[in-house]
A and B are shown apart, each in its own frame.
Chain A
Amino acid sequence: DAGVTQSPTHLIKTRGQQVTLRCSPKSGHDTVSWYQQALGQGPQFIFQYYEEEERQRGNFPDRFSGHQFPNYSSELNVNALLLGDSALYLCASSTRDRGLGQPQHFGDGTRLSIL
């Protein structure tokens, strides 16, 4: 049973460019969340997708956008890249929580470096 998979594993971009990161959720999961993890810090929530719509958003600018496809996979897009966008980008999937406390399961992330 494949877990959460993310691609690519590493990416190098320059300031001002745009990037797309991809995520396939764990089998049976319908909800995808994205997190940004700067070096030495805990992950910070970017946004969550369910039924192909953004349902919740953290404190990130509009340069960060996403999409969820009918097969529940998801993309994270970042425009006008800044040096400060260098981080590990994590995707997490889960089933829709109906009060039972379902955990999120994380992929190993995409390491994005901005030059």
Chain B
Amino acid sequence: DAKTTQPPSMDCAEGRAANLPCNHSTISGNEYVYWYRQIHSQGPQYIIHGLKNNETNEMASLIITEDRKSSTLILPHATLRDTAVYYCIVRVADYGQNFVFGPGTRLSVLP
């Protein structure tokens, strides 16, 4: 079973920031937080991952709480192309450890 809890769906206005929450209250010290998204008919696309510190790349920012029990993925200026299912996954960074996907959050960016 997935170790994360996400809201099933969210809406966001185009041009506004999209903030997607994820709860991972049982996370272990050696588990990373990963975010993927899946646009209809495509494979999951890697977005970002982190262990303790906040991370930012060209796609998004990842904010991890100090106790590491929850995180937020931020898309700073959502566009219609960001409409997708977003998956939050926790995983031990070690050989042989694979990704356990939950149902994710369906984000709809509205014009």
* CB < 8 Å neighbour of B97 from A42, A90, A97: A97
Contact with B along A91-115 (1 / 0, CB 8 A): 0100011111111111111000000
B94 at the interface (CB under 8 A from A): yes
The 6 closest A-B pairs by CB, nearest first: A42-B101, A106-B43, A101-B93, A101-B32, A103-B46, A108-B43
A98 near B95 with CB under 8 A, answer yes
Residues of A within 8 A of B (CB): 4, 33, 35, 41-45, 48, 50, 55-56, 58, 90, 92, 96-109
B43 touches A55 (CB 8 A): no
Residues in B whose Cβ lies below 8 Å from that of A105? 46
Distance in angstroms from A5 CB to nearest chain B CB is 11
Per DSSP, chain A at the interface is loop
Number of residues from B at the complex interface, CB < 8 A: 26
Interface residues of B (CB under 8 A from A): 2, 32, 34, 36, 41-46, 49, 51, 87, 91, 93-104
**Nearest residue in B to A42 (C-beta to C-beta)?**
B101
Majority secondary structure of chain B interface residues (helix, strand, loop or mixed):
loop
**Bound CA–CA A35/B100 (angstroms):** 10
Residues of B within 8 A of A45 (CB): 98-100
Residue contact A97 to B93, C-beta cutoff 8 Å: yes
Q: Other than the known A43-B44, A45-B100, A106-B46, what 4 A-B pairs have Cβ atoms closer than 8 Å? A: A50-B95, A96-B95, A102-B93, A103-B46
Are A41 and B103 in contact, CB atoms less than 8 angstroms apart? yes
What's the nearest-Cβ distance from chain A to residue B60, in Å? 13
Distance in angstroms from B50 CB to nearest chain A CB is 8
What CA separation (Å) do A90 and B98 show in the bound complex? Answer: 13
Measured between beta carbons, the chain A residues less than 8 angstroms from B98 are: 33, 45, 48, 56, 58, 104
